[in-house]
């Protein structure tokens, strides 16, 4: 019998978190994919496999964000089922089979573009898969919040978070924000402990703004602020404004039969099987 090998010669990069379970999955995948004829390389990959949790996929996203238009991601979770991960550690054989049959199908979700304007005229641009958060280091953050050209409110509190639809189940959810289906192209502004009394007033609830809209936060005081983008935190003393919008580019995931329904994931992660 003639064994036909996969001839597409797709380039696959793998990233694993540092624990025995992830490392075992890495070894198993490496061996299986090599045997199947894939090129295993961290340079210019077509597919990136992240092994670990959702946090690991965030790291993989940032490592390859410059290739966002051409790369597809797939996540293997070594714990419970994650939001960015379709496979579990015991599904490795199935993942290899699905990769062999892969025809390039993808499922795409919005990412956030963060534009940081510094007082010295410098402009820095970041991309977030989950969210970006602005906080003042000491004392209450006072900032003007603009939505498009409208001065929406003056915020007082710990900070503000702007999340993507897929990030809505992360920090945003802890802040009381709504869970958004990832096919909704929008971003969500959520307050972090806003001050609301007879003097200070903010909306108090989170807002969901459409793709074409832009949000800007202008901190009032010349002080030290932290800007967190997913799992990284940057510190600045000279922020003029931070702008947020849905990016032109999207994140692409490998669309496989294993891609479970978003609502199933939300239920699995936050509700579970409650006895009635
Ligand atoms: P971490 O503290 O290790 O991760 C925080 C938790 O969030 C982990 O359990 C992670 O899942 C989960 N998670 C990540 N993305 C998610 C998503 N889109 N939906 C649902 N759960 C998600 O930190 P990290 O691994 O560096 O991740 C950074 C993220 O932590 C940030 O993007 C932010 O969303 C989140 N965070 C949350 C809070 C909060 O809820 N109070 C505060 C700060 C940051 P895994 O275990 O599968 O990795
Ligand atoms: Mn984590």
Q: Which of 46, 54, 230, 247 is catalytic?
A: 54
Ligand 2: distance of its center to the CA of 53 in Å? 6
To test the ligand 1 pocket, which listed residue (54, 80, 112, 260) has its Cβ within 8 A of the most ligand atoms?
Answer: 54
Any catalytic annotation for residue 268? Answer: no
The predicted pLDDT at position 256 comes to: 83
Sign of CA dihedral 97, 106, 164, 233: positive
Q: Which CATH architecture has domain 110-249?
A: Sandwich (2.60)
Give ligand 1 pocket residues (Cβ under 6 A).
Answer: 53-55, 58, 82-83, 130-131, 166-167, 169-171, 174, 230-231
The pLDDT value recorded for residue 4 is 44
Q: 3-class SS at 262? A: helix
Q: Report the pLDDT value the prediction gives residue 5, as an integer from 0 to 100.
A: 47
Give the model's pLDDT for residue 215.
Answer: 98
| Core vs surface per residue 230-247: b (16+ CB within 10 A) or e | beeeeebeebebbbbbbb
Is domain 11-105+255-271 annotated with CATH 3.40.50.1820? no
Structural domain boundaries of the chain?
11-105+255-271, 110-249
Binding residues: 54-55, 130-131, 156, 158, 169-174, 193
How confident is the model at residue 276, as a pLDDT? Answer: 66
**From the alpha carbon of 57, which atom of ligand 1 is closest?**
48
CA 130 to ligand 1: nearest atom:
32
- Per this entry, what is the length of the chain? 276
Distance separating alpha carbons of residues 203 and 276, to the nearest angstrom:
36
Q: Count the neighbouring beta carbons within 10 Å of the beta carbon of residue 182.
A: 20
Ligand nearest to the CA of 170: 1
Q: Give pLDDT, residue 257.
A: 81
pLDDT of amino acid 1 = 42
pLDDT tens for the chain, residues 1 to 276: 444 444 558 999 999 999 999 999 999 999 999 999 999 999 999 999 999 999 999 999 999 999 999 999 999 999 877 899 989 999 999 999 999 999 999 999 999 999 999 999 999 999 999 999 999 999 999 999 999 999 999 999 999 999 999 999 999 999 999 999 999 999 999 999 999 998 889 999 999 999 999 999 999 999 999 999 999 999 999 999 999 999 999 999 999 887 778 998 999 899 988 776
Q: Taking the mean position of all CA atoms in its chain, how far away is CA 108? A: 12
Tell me how far the alpha carbon of residue 141 lies from the centroid of ligand 1, in angstroms. Answer: 23
Q: What is the dihedral of CA 49, 54, 57, 61, to 10 degrees?
A: 150
């Amino acid at each position: 019998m003639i064994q036909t090998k996969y001839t597409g010669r797709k380039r696959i990069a793998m990233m694993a978190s540092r624990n025995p379970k992830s490392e075992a999955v890495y070894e198993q995948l490496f061996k299986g994919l090599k045997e199947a004829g894939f090129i295993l390389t961290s340079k210019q990959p077509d597919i990136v496999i992240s092994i670990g949790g959702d946090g690991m996929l965030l790291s993989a996203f940032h490592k390859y964000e410059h290739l966002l238009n051409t790369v597809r991601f797939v996540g293997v979770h070594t714990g419970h089922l994650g939001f960015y991960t379709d496979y579990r550690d015991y599904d490795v054989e199935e993942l290899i089979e699905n990769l062999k049959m892969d025809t390039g199908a993808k499922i795409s979700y919005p990412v956030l573009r963060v534009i940081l304007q510094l007082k010295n005229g410098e402009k820095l641009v970041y991309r977030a898969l989950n969210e970006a958060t602005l906080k003042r280091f000491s004392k209450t953050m006072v900032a003007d919040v603009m939505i498009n050209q409208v001065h929406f409110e003056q915020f007082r509190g710990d900070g503000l978070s702007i999340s993507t639809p897929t990030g809505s189940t992360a920090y945003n959810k802890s802040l009381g924000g709504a869970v958004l289906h990832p096919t909704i192209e929008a971003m969500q502004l959520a307050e972090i402990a806003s001050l609301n009394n007879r003097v200070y007033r903010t909306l108090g609830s989170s807002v969901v703004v459409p793709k074409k809209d832009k949000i800007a936060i202008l901190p009032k005081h010349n002080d030290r602020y932290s800007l967190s983008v997913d799992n990284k935190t940057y510190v600045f003393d000279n922020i003029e404004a931070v702008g947020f919008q849905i990016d032109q580019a999207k994140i692409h995931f490998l669309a496989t039969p294993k891609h479970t329904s978003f609502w199933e994931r939300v239920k699995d992660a936050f509700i579970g099987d409650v006895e009635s």
